[in-house]
Amino acid sequence: MKKSLEENLESLNRLFLGSADFTVREMNLKTPARTAAALITIEGMCAKDVIAISVIDPLLSFEFSNTDADLLIDEIKSSVLTTSEIVELDTVKDAVMFSTSGFAVLAVDGTDRMLAIGAQGFSFRSVSEPESEVVQRGSREGFTEPLRINMTLIRRRIKSPDLVFETLTIGKDSKTQIMMCYLQKSVSPSILNTVRTRLKQCDLKTVLGSGYLTEYLEDRGTRSIFSGVGISERPDTVCGKLTEGRVAVLVDGTPAVLLLPHLFVEEFQSIDDYSNRPYYATFIRILKYFSFMLAVFLPGLYTAFAQFHPEYFPAGLLIKTAESLAHTPLPVTLEVLLITFVYEIMREAGLRIPKPLGHAVSIVGALVIGESAVSAGIICSSTLMVVATAAICSYVTSSLYPQIMVLRFSFIILGGILGLWGVILAVVFALINMCSKTSVGVPYMSSLAPFSIKRMRDVFVRADWKRLSGHTIKVHKLPETEAK
């Protein structure tokens, strides 16, 4: 950075290539020599009223007695500006980063230092209930896009000095601000250092969402369709994980917070489980496991039994299934694959099209796939019922839907080729893959593998709060890992 104001402004102009939102407010400070200064902002990123009241008005009305530029900067920082956040800058690179983050940068002629003044005022979505994690008895607040607001939502719930926010900047072009959040007395130092190292090794040019970092945070050598990185949009869920020794990664510009380590059993837990009575929470949790099994195995088992093992069907069901399949032109395996594939197309269309057209897709799907296709004899009614049941069950654990879809297609294909032995073979491979996977060194299948009866109080059943609060097992105490 140069001492000449004109040279510094020329450097910034060259970097921004004359962008329309790059604005410079030049002024003369009331010094004996009428020192030139400039306020650099990015239009739309700063609050104009804050700049006018807390920055420009004090600068133009204050009468300085010094003429030395370095002394002017110190006096402005300590006695003139009324904003709460002021950062001193030494390089043009820092000036670019702070100005594009919503700060107003003050440059004074004759000094190689600048001041970044906190005056953020960009528009953002207000705090609202997250649509992906709906609860009945819990907070209605969800994370939003600005990083500082998300930090506040966490700090409001954990009023402890042990809560630490650690800042990183990732992305050569985007300069995205990343915030590591953890409880200093609960987190494992090895897990914390591993997460920090992996984030610093990220060499992406742009980071526009938390999903960009997921692959960099996964353990190397553990290839799996399951993810060892958890995602949540709820502050209360994140705070609960922090107390268990997790590390949360907040990314500026996205409401999804990453959680490490993440375990398989956590996919079946929600904040409602800890708000309801233990017996009801246990029933709901068992229901989720049962729905997951149906969503994954039902189409594959139906294909294997109908094509290779019809003797396993009860007599009445066998007769009706055989009559339905006899009037359809396609083999069972191809029929199940076709209906599942068409359903996935409808689901994707329902997600992408505008909401007013969503009802039209539902009506068309119900008429064409449901009524007309069965009446015309193109598909079997029992096949349609099996695929529909599996589709409904997959939404009970919506966070696992991508994995359920891949496993479902795999089981259908192997069940149609090898029968029941193909399904068993696929199950063995899936279990081996899941049990060998780790999340920041923690076994992904904890607390099922390695198994301990003491750690099952919050897996299939949910024990009462007296037991949960009195015998908390931290995630960093390997291999005694608790997923709560």
DSSP letters spanning 145-185: S-HHHHHHHHHTT---TTEEEEEEEE-TTT-EEEEEEEETT
pLDDT at 411 over 80: yes
Q: At what angle do helices 235-243 and 147-155 cross, to 10 degrees?
A: 60
d(CA 375, CA 379): 9
Is pLDDT of 138 > 80? no
User: For position 361, what pLDDT does the model report?
Assistant: 66
Q: What does pLDDT average to over the chain?
A: 85
Query: Has residue 236 got a pLDDT over 80?
Result: yes
Report CA 286 to chain centroid distance, whole Å: 26
Q: Is 227 helix (H, G, I), strand (E, B) or coil?
A: coil
pLDDT value of residue 296: 94
Residue 466, pLDDT score:
74
For the cut 60, the answer to whether the pLDDT of residue 480 exceeds it is no
Q: What is the pLDDT of residue 349?
A: 79
The pLDDT-based confidence of 196 (bands split at 50, 70, 90) is: very high
Tell me the domain boundaries of the chain: 5-118, 147-274, 278-436
pTM: 0.83
* pLDDT of 483 strictly over 60: no
Report the sign of the C-alpha dihedral through residues 223, 226, 232, 237, in that order. Answer: negative
pLDDT digits (tens, 9 = 90+) for 343-362: 888 888 777 777 666 666 66
Q: Would you state the pLDDT for residue 47?
A: 86
pLDDT band at 120 (very low <50, low <70, confident <90, very high): confident
The residues, ordered by sequence, that sit 6+ positions from 232 with a Cβ below 8 Å of its Cβ are 133, 238, 241, 256, 257, 259
Among 88-97, 158-167, 346-355, whose mean pLDDT is lowest? 346-355
Average pLDDT for residues 297-306, to the nearest whole number?
Answer: 92
Distance from C-alpha of 198 to C-alpha of 55, rounded to nearest angstrom: 40
pLDDT digits (tens, 9 = 90+) for 389-407: 999 999 998 889 999 999 9
